[in-house]
Structure 1
C-alpha cells in the first residue's frame, strides 16, 4: 500500500515537471517572436514548480523572464526594469551562456529610461536606474557617477554621498581619450566614436586636423561634492577631513584645489578661499573665470581696489565678460554710501557747507567713473535691463535729465519685449 502511494506521487511529480519544462520552452518561443505578454503567461504557469526544476531550466526561466519584462524597451515601468535586471543576474549566476547579452539589454534599457527620467526631472528614479545599471557591470563606473549626480539633484544627499565615496574609493577619474577632427564644410570640431572612425573620416578628405584629447579628471569634482554634501548635512569637520584625504591622494591636483576653495567659500571663509584661489591662479594664469571669482571674494573682504584689479585681469583675458564690467561699476558705486553718511552728518556752518560741496563732487566723480563700464556692458548686451536701469539712475544723479529720460524709454521697450 505504501509502495503504491509512492509510485503515484512520483508519477505526479514527473507530469508536473514535464509540464513545467514545456511552459518554459513555450515562454522562450514567445520571447523569440516578440509576444512578451504570452511569454509572461507561460512563465507564470511554470513559476509554481520552479524550485523542482533543474539548474538549466531555472536559468532559462530567468533569462526569458528578463526579456519578457523588458519587452520592446519602450515605456517600461521602473519596477519591471529592475526586476528584469534581477532576473538576468540570476540567469548569470545559474550559468546561462546568454545571460551576458541579457544583462547588456537590461543595462541599455535602464540607461535609456534614466535619460528620460532625467529630462523629466525625475531624479530619484534616474539615480536608481543608473545605479542598478552600474551593479549589472561594475566596470561601467560612469553610470555610478551619473547616479550620484541625479541623487544630488533629488536632494537625496545620503545616497549621493554613498555613491561619491564609492567612486572616490575606486579611484574613478572619468578621464577618457576623445578623438576629434574638424568638419571642412562647417568648420566645427566634432567628436568621433573611435580613433578608427576619426581616421577614416580624415582619409575621406571631408575632415581635417585630427586631434586626441584626454577629458578633464572628475576627481576634484567628486571630492568637492563629498565635502559639499557633508556641509549640506551640517558636518563641516567631515567636509574638511574629506578634502584633506582627497588632497593627500592627489597632490597638486588643480581641480581639487579649486574644490577646496569652493568648500571654504561655502563655509563663508573668504580669507581661506582667496588664499587657495591665488595658488590656483599661479598654476592656471590664463583662466579669466578664476580672476573673476577672486574679484568677487576680494570685494566681499572689503578690498575694493584689489577686487577691481582682479576684474580687470579677467577682462584682459576675456573682454566679453560683462559680469566683470558690471561688478567693477558696483565696486566703484559701493563707495557712495560712506560719502552720503558723512554728508548727512554735516551741519549748516560755512565749513560744513564747504565740506558738503566737496563730498558732493566726490560722489559725482564716482558716478562718472562707473558710467563707462556700464555703457560698455549695454553696448555688448543691448537687452541688459539691470545695466540700463543703473545708467538711468546715474544720469539722474548727474542732472543729465534728457539722457535719463531716453534711457527710461529704452528700459520700457526692453521690458515690453520680454513680456
Structure 2
C-alpha cells in the first residue's frame, strides 16, 4: 500500500516537472517572437515549481526572464531593469552559455535608460542604473565612473565616495583611444566604434583623414572629487590626505596639481591655492586660465599689483578674456574705498578741504585708469551689461554727463532686448 502511494506521488511530480519544462520552453519561443508579455505569463506559471527543475532548465528560465523584462529596451521601468540584471546574473551562475550576451543586452538597456535619466536630471536613478550595468561586467569601469558623477550631481556623497574609491583601488584612469575620420559627404569629423571600422570606411573611400588620439587621464579629476567630497563632509584632513596619496604616484602631474589647487580654494586657503597654481603654471606657461586664477587668488590675498600683473598676462595669452579685463577694472576701483573713507572723516577746515580736493583728484584718476579696461570689454562684448553699468557710473562721477546718458540709453536698450514679451505683444 505504501509502495503504491509513493509511486503515485512520483508520477505526479513527473507530470508537474514536464509541464514546467514545457512552460519554460514556450517562454523561450515567445521571447524569440518578441512577445514579451506572453513570455512573462509562461514564466509566472513555471516559477512556482522552479526549485525542482534541473539546473539547465533553471538557467533557461532566468535567461528568458531577463529578456522578457527588458523587452525591446524602451521605457522599461527601473524595477524591471534591476530584476532583469539579477536574472541574467543567475543564468550565468547556473552556467548558461548565452548569459554573457544576455547580460550585455541588459547592460545596454540600463545605460540607455541612464542617459535618458541624466537628460531629465534624474541623477539618482541614473547612478543606480550605471552602477548595476558595471556590476554586470566589471570590465566596463567607465560606467562606475559615470555612476559616481551622477551620485555627486544628486549630492549622494557617500555613494559617490564609495564608487570613486573603488575606481582608485582598481587603478582606473579613464584613458582611451578615440578613432576618427572625416565624412567626405558632410565634411564633418566623426568618431568610429573601433580602429577596424574607421580603416574599413577609409578604405571604401567614404571617409578621409583618419586620426587617433588618447583621451586625458581622469585620475586627477577623481582625486579632486574625493577631496571635495571630504570637504563637503567637513573632513578637511581626510581631503588633504586623499590628495597627498594621489600625488605619490605622479607628483608632477599637472592635472593632479590643478585638482589640489581647487581643493585648497574650496577650503578657503588662498595662500596654499596660489602656491599650488604657481607650480601648475610652471608646467603650463601658456595657459591663460591659470594666470586668471592666479589673479583671483592674489586679489583675495590683497596683492593688487600682482593680481593685475597676472590678469594682464592672461589677456596677452587670450585677448578675448573679458573676465580678466573686468577684474583688472575692479582691482583698480577697489583703491577708491579707502579714499572715500578718508574723505568722509575730514572736517570743514581749510586743511581738510585741501586734503579733500587732493583725494578727489586721486579718486578721479582711479576712474580714468579703470575706464579703458571696461570699454575694451564692451568693445569685445557689446551686450555686457555689467561693464556698461560700471562705465555709466564712472562717467557720472567724472561729470561726463553726455557720455553717461548715452551709456544709460544703451543699457535701457539691452534690458529691453532681454525683456520677455507680455501677452498680446
TM-score interval, smaller chain:
over 0.9
After TM superposition, give the deviation of residue 202 of structure 1 in Å: 4.9
CA distance in 2, matches of 1:25, 1:166: 41
Residue 220 of structure 1 corresponds to 220
Tell me the secondary structure at the aligned position of residue 76 of structure 2: coil
TM-score (norm 1): 0.97
Q: Which shifted more, 376-385 or 176-185?
A: 176-185
SS of the residue aligned with 1:180? strand
1:41 Cα deviation (Å)? 0.5
Query: C-alpha offsets along residues 291-329 of structure 1, whole Å, 9 cap, x if unaligned?
Result: 111111110000011001111111111111111111111
Using the TM superposition, give the Cα deviation of residue 250 of structure 1 relative to its aligned residue in structure 2, in angstroms: 2.4
Equivalent-residue separation in structure 2 for 1:336 and 1:102 (angstroms): 70
What is the alpha-carbon distance in structure 1 between the residues aligned to residue 299 and residue 66 of structure 2? Answer: 59
Instruction: Give 3-state SS (helix, strand or coil) of 1:191's partner.
Output: strand
Alignment partners' CA distance in 1, 2:298 and 2:343? 28
Q: Where does structure 1 lack aligned partners over 5 or more consecutive residues?
A: none
Q: How many Å separate the matches in 2 of 1:11 and 1:181? A: 67
Show structure 2 runs of 5+ residues with no match.
Answer: 420-425
Aligned counterpart, 1:267: 267
**Counterpart in 1 of 2:67?**
67
1:220-269 CA distance string (max 9 Å, x none): 00000000001101111111111111111222111111111111111110
Using structure 2 for the length normalisation, give the TM-score: 0.96
**Counterpart position of 1:165:** 165
Find the aligned partners of 1:33 and 1:188 in 2 and give their Cα distance.
Answer: 39
Question: Take 1:184 and 1:294, find their aligned partners in 2: how far apart are those partners?
Answer: 44
Q: Does 1:280 align with 2:280?
A: yes
Correspondence for 1:38: 38
Alpha-carbon separation, structure 2, partners of 1:28 and 1:107: 20
Alignment of 1:240-389 (within 5 A): 240-389=240-389
CA distance in 2, matches of 1:281, 1:24: 65
| Residue matched to 2:422 | none
Output the aligned Cα RMSD: 1.5
Distance 1:200 1:51 in 2: 50
For the structure 1 residues 39 and 409, does the alpha-carbon distance in structure 2 shift closer, same or farther, using more than 3 Å as the test? same
Query: Residue 348 of structure 1 aligns to a residue in which SS?
Result: coil
3-state DSSP of counterpart to 2:113: helix
Q: 2:241, 2:50 → 1: CA distance?
A: 52
User: Number of residue pairs matched?
Assistant: 419
CA distance in 1, matches of 2:12, 2:206: 71
- Rounded to whole Å, the distance in 2 between the matches of 1:187 and 1:6 is 78
